[in-house]
Structure 1
């Protein structure tokens, strides 16, 4: 079964014991989590860093790789809308080159600067691959700390940030399920999502996120059904924040007339994916300031 190519498919693995047959019998396609990736720090090829046309993209890749090793999601590539980027420059000081870094937010403003370690001017100008790799390795730790400080400052200074309060979720309708699934699935999902990480509300207008579901049951013969559950998480602007898809082969009797323990197992499995979608979206929202006056 094909999914849109831009979705990130991650195998959901379970722990503990869930009722059969849903858990432990994943069927032909298993369970997939589809969410947009968290926002990344783009590292574009520097044009004012005293590097040649061949060396500049190499250094961008080296630095992005080193930052990723310090848990800073980084990709070498051009500046992209809604993502942060790192502006790299360099100055000559005697026989040394001093790299400089400027963290630019999605709004085009500078949020922090860092000066790198000196590197030999000749090696830098020649694009010596060893020197470039060593410089990236030397400068990545301080840059990762700078990103941590920037993120903390933004979160703490924004009273509307979801990082400073519990996100509110509204569980909407489930459609297309055989048997009593349209009723039992949202009920069991509400139970599965209970906990300190989310506040469930009964009014959609009060929610930060809304979850709805669609079920498609395709007969496979011999009393079997291929059941696909698609959970969609939307934000306050009705924009899709992410999706969780589950695909399992079940017997007709497992879901008709009652889903029973199968609904509890399915929603418990889906809850982890839904939480991941929400956490990724919160990360995106808190990585840049709220507009003035909001």
Structure 2
């Protein structure tokens, strides 16, 4: 399950001359957190006759195994194989009073990327399709399978020159909405100056981007004649899945952001860039782990 994480950057008020600079400060190491997007889905079809499960028990085991893998952050669905997708097939062998499941991991190219045996299970419980026994077997084997699948992913990504492990991520800055004055223009303009660096590249074509950043500004009445300004920066991956959000919140005089944001936009973009870079860095690190 993908969780929507909103992160509040701690903002320090720093006065400098007569210019409002509410967004300057240190967001700290916990300034941005990440909700990891899922990898390509792994299909888990009902085991065939070679699994020694009957026609009623086979789909039950497939559902148990897929659900157990999801608990280890392996996006999995019980169902028929999909063209161009990853596949986990199950067979089994009997040795006396025990049965040992065996698993094969097949890639989109039809090649075998991994083989793994499961934990032995009582033959009678397996053959009779005992629900508790099947669920326990799926839960037990999913842990080891998740490690194997993670290692396969790391090996593939490490050998791919276009992998994010081997090049800087490409970021597209999308629209900013809801800002009074010129904020919808000045905020992304300033963010485009702060995001690029040795670890990140900003692109102008969204089709080339690994990540897209969009902003939404909400201004509500505050106290003492001020307004409360909330800037929410959402980060999505190339599949349009939200992986994180950086939120900035501070009271301002409306005159500070209308008609022009000026130095407030520059300061806000600088702090937002720090959080966004951390979200993306965590995403790249997770993909390679």
Superposed displacement of residue 73, structure 1: 1.7
- SS of 1:106's equivalent? coil
**1:225-264 alignment runs, 5 A limit:** 240=240, 252-253=254-255, 255-259=257-261, 260-261=263-264, 264=267
- CA shift, 1:105, in A, is 2.1
**Distance between the aligned counterparts of 2:99 and 2:286, measured in 1?**
35
**Is there any run of 5+ residues in structure 2 with no aligned partner, and where?**
14-20, 24-33
Alignment of 1:56-205 (within 5 A): 56-69=58-71, 71-78=72-79, 79-80=81-82, 83-171=85-173, 177-190=179-192, 193=195, 197-200=199-202, 204=205
Q: Distance in 2 between matches of 1:188 and 1:10?
A: 26
SS at match of 2:4: strand
Gap change, CA 1:126 and 1:228, over 3 Å in 2: same
Q: What residue number does 1:16 align with?
A: 10
User: Do the aligned residues in 2 keep the contact of 1:216 with 1:229 (CA within 8 Å)?
Assistant: yes
User: How far off its partner does 1:160 sit?
Assistant: 2.7
User: How far has the Cα of 1:194 moved from its partner?
Assistant: 5.0
| Cα separation, 2, equivalents of 1:232 and 1:68 | 23
Give the superposition deviation at 1:226: 9.4
Render the CA deviation track for 1:113-167: whole Å, top value 9, x for unaligned: 1122222221101112332233234423432232132112212222232222222
- Gaps of at least 5 residues in structure 1 are 1-6, 23-32, 288-294
The answer for the alignment partner of 1:52 in structure 2 is 54
Q: Take 2:87 and 2:278, find their aligned partners in 1: how far apart are those partners? A: 27
The alpha-carbon distance between structure 1 residues 282 and 141, as it changes in their structure 2 partners (threshold 3 A), is closer
Distance 2:10 2:235 in 1: 25
Counterpart of 2:28 in structure 1 is none
Classify 1:81/1:248 alpha carbon distance in 2 versus 1 (closer, same or farther; 3 Å): farther
> Does the residue aligned with 2:149 lie in a helix, a strand or coil?
helix
Asked if the contact 1:244–1:274 (Cα under 8 Å) also holds between the matched residues in 2, the reply is no
Distance 2:75 2:234 in 1: 29
Paired residues, what number? 268
| CA RMSD between the two structures | 4.7
Per-residue deviation at 1:15?
4.0
**TM-score normalised according to structure 2 size:** 0.65
In 1: Cα distance, 2:102 partner to 2:46 partner: 14
How far is the alpha carbon of 1:249 from its aligned partner? 11
TM-score, length-scaled by structure 1: 0.64
Q: 1 CA distance for matches of 2:178 and 2:5?
A: 24
Q: In 2, Cα distance between the equivalents of 1:267 and 1:35?
A: 24
SS at match of 1:13: strand
Secondary structure of 1:103's aligned partner:
strand
Distance 2:2 2:148 in 1: 28
User: How far is the alpha carbon of 1:85 from its aligned partner?
Assistant: 2.9
Correspondence for 2:42: 41
State the 1:240 CA deviation. Answer: 4.8
Secondary structure of residue in 1 paired with 2:146: helix
